Amino acid sequence: MALIVKRGQVPKTPHTEFYAKPGVLSLEEIHGSYGFSGAYSRKMHLRRYPTEQVRPPRAAEFQLKPELVKPPLQPFHILASRIPYGGDFIRGRRCLLWGKTTFVSACKPDRSMGEKEFFRNGENHELVFVQEGKGVLASEYGELEFSPRQYLVIPKGSTVQLRLSSPRAFFLVIESTYPVHFAPHYLNAQGQATLMAPVVESEIGLPELRPPRDEKGEFRIAVKHNGGRMTRVTLGHHPFDLAGWEGALYPFSFDSASHHSIAREIHTAPPARQTFQSGQAPYSGFSVCTFRAQVEGWHPLDIPAPYAHYNADSDEVMFFSNASYGARQGVIEPGSLTFHPGALPHSPQGEAAKRSLGLRGKVSDYLAVMVDTFFESLEPTKAALAYSDKSYALSWARERAR
C-alpha cells in the first residue's frame, strides 16, 4: 500500500520526545512487515507500551487449529451458506481449506465481540470479504465501517474488535503469511496506481481514529499463532490507546464495486480481474480476483464462458456472492465455495458454453471472489467435507457409469 496516512498526534521526527498529554511521555511502537524492510506504521501510545501484561498468558478456551482429512483428489463444492450462524468474529470461524501459508475460512457470527475482548492474528495477514452484515471493525488505528460486498484488509499483528450493527454476518476470511496489497503491476515506480489499472488506491476506506482510551482494567486479547493455536494475553490498559499514528501499514476497506473491470473483444482471462496479491507472484502467496459486472466479449464469435483450464501450479478457490456465474449456473448457490486443486483440470459444466452465447456483448451481473495460489497446495478440512456437495465431482458428466 503506497498511501501513507497520518491520524492524530505524532512527532514530526520519528523516535523523538513527544507529549500527547502534558507531562506524560508518549511511547512509540513500530508495526512492521518483512522485518524492517516492508511497509510499516509508527504508533504513539498515550502512556503505556502494548507489552504490559497483568496476568500470565494462558491457552485460550478455544482453538482455531483445523482438523485435516485426506479425501481422494477431487474438486469440491462447499455449501458455506449452510454453515450455521454462531459465535463472534473469532469463535465463528470455520477453516475450510488449509495450506502452509494460506488459510480460507467461513465466519458467520451472530454477535459482537465482548467490550473487553480483542483479537490479534499473530501469524497471518487477513483479507475479509463481507457477504452479509454490517458493523464496525475497530482497531488501535481507529474504526472502519463495513457493509456487504466490501473487502477488509487487516495486517498481521493488528489488534481488532469487530462489532455488528446487524443481527448476523457472513464473512469469507482469507489468511496469508505474506502481506496483502493491490497487485504491484497496477502501480507505477512511485507506488501510485497507473491510469490503466482497474483499481485506484484513493478509493480505499480508512479507519477513523477515536480519542485514546486511557483506561485501566483487564483487557483480554486472543492471539492466533502457530497454525491456529490461540493464547490469551491480558493487558492492564485498553489496547486502543493511541494518541496518533502514521505510516503505510493499517487496516482498510475496499468496495468490490470499486474494482473497475477490464473488458475486451474476446474472453478475458482471470488475471485481468485481479484486485489483490499476497507474496511474490508468481513464486509464492496468491492472487485475488474480483469477478463483477462487466461487458462480455463482443467479437461476433466470442464464447463468454471460460475455457477449460489446467493451471498445474495453482489451486483455485472461488466464492460465489450470487449464483449468476454462468459457468456454474444450476450447480452453485449464493455463498457457495468451489475448490479446484491444481492437479486436476476444470471447466464449465454441461451446456454452459453454449448457453453463454446469448450473453455476447451484454453486461454480466455476477459477483465472485477467486483465490489462486502460487505453488501451494491446499487441503480440505473436516468442516469443508461436512458441508460439501458429494456429487460435485460428477457434475460435469453427461453420462454416468452405472
Those residues whose C-beta lies under 8 Å from the C-beta of residue 198, and which sit 6 or more positions away, are 186, 259, 260, 261, 262, 272, 273, 275
Homologous superfamily (CATH) for 259-393: Jelly Rolls (2.60.120.10)
Where are the CATH 2.60.120.10 domain residues in the chain?
18-65+87-255, 259-393
Report helix, strand or coil for 402.
Answer: coil
- Kind and range of the H or E element at 171? strand 170-176
pLDDT, one tens digit for every residue, the chain (402 residues): 568 999 999 999 999 999 999 999 999 999 999 998 999 999 999 999 999 999 999 999 999 999 999 999 999 999 999 999 999 999 999 999 999 999 999 999 999 999 999 999 999 999 999 999 999 999 999 999 999 999 999 999 999 999 999 999 999 999 999 999 999 999 999 889 999 999 999 999 999 999 999 999 999 999 999 999 999 999 999 999 999 999 999 999 999 999 998 888 888 888 889 999 999 988 999 999 999 988 888 999 988 888 888 889 999 999 999 987 756 767 889 999 999 999 998 888 777 788 888 888 888 888 999 999 999 999 999 999 999 999 999 988 765 565
- Between 3.40.50.300, 3.30.470.10, 2.60.120.10, 3.90.280.10, what CATH number should domain 18-65+87-255 receive? 2.60.120.10
Report helix, strand or coil for 276.
Answer: strand
What is the end-to-end Cα distance of the chain in Å, rounded?
Answer: 55
- The DSSP secondary structure of 34-83, one letter per residue, reads TTTTS-EEEEEESS--TT-EEEEEEE-SS-----B--PPS--EEE-GGGS
- How many Cβ atoms sit within 10 Å of the Cβ of residue 36? 8
Provide the pairing of β-strand 216-225 with 117-121: parallel
> Which cell goes with 338?
468451489
Q: With a threshold of 0.85, does the pTM exceed it?
A: yes
> Which cell goes with 196?
490503466
Chain-centroid distance, C-alpha 283: 20
- Report which of 102, 68, 205, 233 is spatially closest to residue 144, judged by C-alpha positions: 205
